[in-house]
Each structure stands twice: as structure tokens, then as C-alpha cells.
Amino acid sequence: MRILVLGADGYLGWPTCMYFANRGHEVMAVDNFNKRKYELEIGVTPLVEIETLHRRIDIFKEVTGKQIHLRVGDLCNHRVIYKIFDEFKPDAVVHYAEQPSAPYSMRDRASAYETQYNNVLGNLNVLFAIQQYNPDCHLIKLGTMGEYGTPNIDIEEGYLEIEHKGRKDTVPFPKTPGSFYHLTKVHDSNNIMFATRIWGLKSTDLNQGVVYGIETDETKLHKGLATSFHYDEIFGTALNRFCVQAVAGHPLTLYGKGKQTRGYLNIIDTLQCVELAALNPPDAGKMRVFNQFTEVFSVTELAELAAKSGKELGLDVTIEHFENPRIEMEEHYYNPVHTGLPELGLKPHSLSDTLVDSMIKIIKENEERIRKELILIGVKWKGGK
């Protein structure tokens, strides 16, 4: 297959490029390096030192003998993505190319605007590129479980069967996103659903849970093939933060009551999910939705697991409660359905089996690069200027 990966420099984008290329697919990587610009703007750095995308592609070819094509360009410039589709003619496009952080989107007006502009309009240009140059191309779009929020009913996979005043219908599942970032994913889903229905496209919306893990089979081939791992408050996840805090001797920062519950999956399982979606496309005119996660944890359960894993390595780990900077329900019902990907053959890894080897040991090896001042930056959901 000819696979186009948008956002190829990112945490998931780079391993995805290597994963498909290593399995014999022809891969083109596209990025405008906005994420690196955001990191410079805020002053944060990944824990593990990351080579440029150009250099990583060169190293990958040196190690495997396989070529990943590279294009540098901004999806918000429609001419860029039109030219790429016209020349490369992908069978599938894996779309990660969006500002990925809820805290970044809530910093201030400028960050919220950048998130909405980059994410929504870039995705819209991708849809028009598919429609004009390759309508048979399968769009695999990274969404988020955060689109749904925390409703007091089971979260179905994208759609909900309802009965109202004696009539029945299937409608998109109600969305209650918790940040301007999550809101862009809702806008994306609506635009993809509309374009798929009107233009007869093929699309898969991957509503992904929180991803953890630092290594994949391909990143292990050479230290220069590492992907980014953030532990700061802006681009790092709660689990990333807890694991780094455990190694650094910093109390684990548990926000609020710690009962906020979400879905999680290993980065290796993310690659499985994207591959399963690519190899099993939907029919034309259908937007398929997969809830992409393998386990559900509360924030307290994550902290306790990180503390237990740290203590197994002889670390002195404590947990402290901090004021929650986010505006969210801290006690809620959470029962999301996830049947589509397991039915296609997903074989998940468990967090308890992989946390020490996949994260904490690697963090320990890079302990000297930990910057404690980045752990709590102070973004609050109450709004900025």
C-alpha cells in the first residue's frame, strides 16, 4: 500500500512511518514541525533527545535499507496537500497532523486560536484533497475519546441508537469535549462525516484513549530512531508525569480527588490499531468509528501503579493531591464500548505488565535530563487573555 502519514515528526507519527515502511509499504512522511515550534515557544523539551525528522529517516534507511519519503509542508496551505496527493496518490492517509495538547489550547486566546485554525482547517484541506485527487483513498483520522466527555450513559462507538416519540434512528453520539483541543476533534469528526456522506469517501475515525510507552520494535533498532516523550504539564500525560516524578523523587501530582477515569493503550497497540484500520477499510460513503483503547483507569489507579512500579526499582515514591487546574467532573460514570478493533484482531498489552520496562526503566536511564520546573507550569482552565 501507498501510505501517507501526516504529522510524521510526532510521538505517534514517526513510529507509524517506521512500522509501515518496515512491513513493505511505501510511506511518505509529511510535517511542518509546528510541534517543535510550540515546544520552543513554551520552553519544554522531550525527555529523550530527538533527532530531526530528516536525520531519523536517514538512520532508518541505514539500519533497515528501507526508504521513507519526506515532504515538508503545512496542511493549512491547500496547495501543499493538493500537490502531495496528486504526486503520491496514497491508498490510505493516516492523519495525526494536529496540535495535540488540551492544556496548550487552554493557555490563552492565541493558543486556542492556533489550535482551532491548525487542526480544523488543516483537516478540511485534507478532505478536499482526497475528494479532488483520490476519492478512493481511505482517511484514517486520529480522534480522541475526549470528544465524548463523561456522559452518564455507556459510550458507544461513534453512534447511538435512539427512540424518540415513537420513532427510532441512529445518530452521532452526543459530544461534550473538555477543552478547545478536544473541541477541534469534534469539528473534525463532523466535517469528516459530512464529506464522507456527500462525496462518498471512505473514512475511519479513531477515537483514541491516552497513549503510553516510549519504545516500539523500530525505535529499538537505533538510539537515533527514538520518538518524543513529554512529561511536562503541556504535552505530557498524567501517566508520563507520574513516572518521571517517581524517578525524580518528586511527589506524584494527583489533581483533585483523583477519580477522573479514562481509557488507555500502549503505543505498540496504537500501531496495531492503525494497521488493522488500514488493512480493513470501510465501504465508500461510510465513516467508521473505533473507540481505540484497551484498559480503563482512574488517575488514582495510575498514580498507585506508578508508585508500585517505582518501588519495585527501589525508588521512594509518595503521592500528593493538588488543586485540579481543569474544569471537569471528578466523580463520574465511565463505561465506553470498544469492540470494533478487537473484532479485527487487536491483541492488547496491559499497563501493569509493561509499565516498568516500557517507561520507568527508560526514564531512569535519562534521569539527568529531567527538568523538574516543567512538571507543573500552571495552566488553568479558567481562561487567559
Strands 138-142, 92-95: pairing is parallel
Which residue(s) pair with 155 in the sheet?
336
In a domain, 201, yes or no: yes
**Is 350:297 a contact under the CB 8 Å cutoff?**
no
Instruction: Please tell me the pTM assigned to this model.
Output: 0.97
Q: Is residue 26 part of a domain?
A: yes
Task: From 372, 383, 136, 134, select the one nearest 253 (Cα to Cα).
Answer: 372
Residue 113 falls inside a structural domain: yes
Evaluate whether residue 76 is within a structural domain. yes
Cα 112 from Cα 89, distance rounded (Å): 33
Q: What is residue 154's predicted lDDT score, i.e. its pLDDT?
A: 98
Give the per-residue pLDDT at 286.
97
Contact 209, 264 (CB under 8 A): yes
- Catalytic-role residue among 185, 196, 204, 294: 185
Residue 186: predicted pLDDT: 98
Residue among 144, 216, 237, 294 flagged as catalytic: 144
Q: Does residue 144 have an active-site annotation?
A: yes
Residue 14 is part of a domain; what is its CATH number? 3.40.50.720
Q: Does some domain include residue 127?
A: yes
Q: How many domains does the chain have?
A: 1
Domain that holds residue 79: 2-230+265-295+343-348
Residue 60 lies in a domain: yes
User: How far is residue 157's CA from residue 145's CA, in Å, rounded to a whole number?
Assistant: 10
169: phi then psi, degrees, rounded to nearest 5 = -160, 165
Residue 385 appears among annotated catalytic residues: no
pLDDT value, residue 375? 86
Task: Tell me if 365 is assigned to some domain.
Answer: no
Cell 493538493 identifies what position?
82
Average pLDDT, consecutive stretches of 10 residues, N- to C-terminus, the chain (385 residues): 98 98 98 97 95 98 98 98 98 98 96 98 98 97 98 98 97 97 98 98 98 96 97 95 95 94 98 98 98 98 95 93 93 97 97 90 95 88 74
Whether 236 is in a domain gets the answer no
